[in-house]
Amino acid sequence: MDIKAYIALSLTLFTIGIVGVLVRRNAIIIFMCIELMLNAVNLLLVGFSKMHALSPAAKASPYFASDAQIFVFFIMVVAAAEVSVGLAIIVMMYRNVHTVDVNFLNRLKN
């Protein structure tokens, strides 16, 4: 499989995430679109990792190709931490203003 196929797929998923953030007004769905964008980047990183596994430099050092997958692992770690804090913020916001519409949250005060 060509690397361009993976670039196109990841780019499509990332753009769907961007369109979701722009179009939807529900804070939870905006948050889910951010998760979708993170996953698109993860897929692209794994694709590049397997692309570099075929390069001559990968024969020289054994860990050359798995570096990108370690990055994906850390992206998942950060995403899990982000989701826990973000959902706590959304729950608190719902408790205070009784809606998850981001249009109601255009001011920081009151």
Partner 1 sequence: MNITTLVFILLSVMAVGSALMMIASKSPVHSVLWLIVVFFAISGHYILLNAQFLAIVNIIVYAGAIMVLFLFVVMLMNLNADTEPIKNYRLQLIGVISGGTLLLIILSAVMKIDVEQMVEMKTGDAGLIKSLGFNLFKNYVLPFEISSVLFLSAMIGAVIIGKKDEITHEG
- For residue 32, state whether it binds partner 1 (rule: CB under 8 A): yes
For residue 7, state whether it binds partner 1 (rule: CB under 8 A).
yes
Q: Which of 56, 60, 62, 108 binds partner 1 (CB under 8 A)?
A: 62
The reply on whether position 65 binds partner 1 by CB under 8 A is: yes
* Cα distance between residue 73 and residue 55, in whole Å: 22
Q: Give 84's contacts (C-beta < 8 A, 6+ positions apart).
A: none
- Is residue 67 part of the contact set for partner 1 (CB under 8 A)? yes
Minimum CB separation of residue 30 from partner 1 in Å reads 11
List binders of partner 1 among 85-104 (CB under 8 A): 85, 87-92, 94-95, 99-103
Residue 34's closest CA among 59, 48, 14, 55?
14
> Cα–Cα distance between 36 and 43 in angstroms, integer?
11
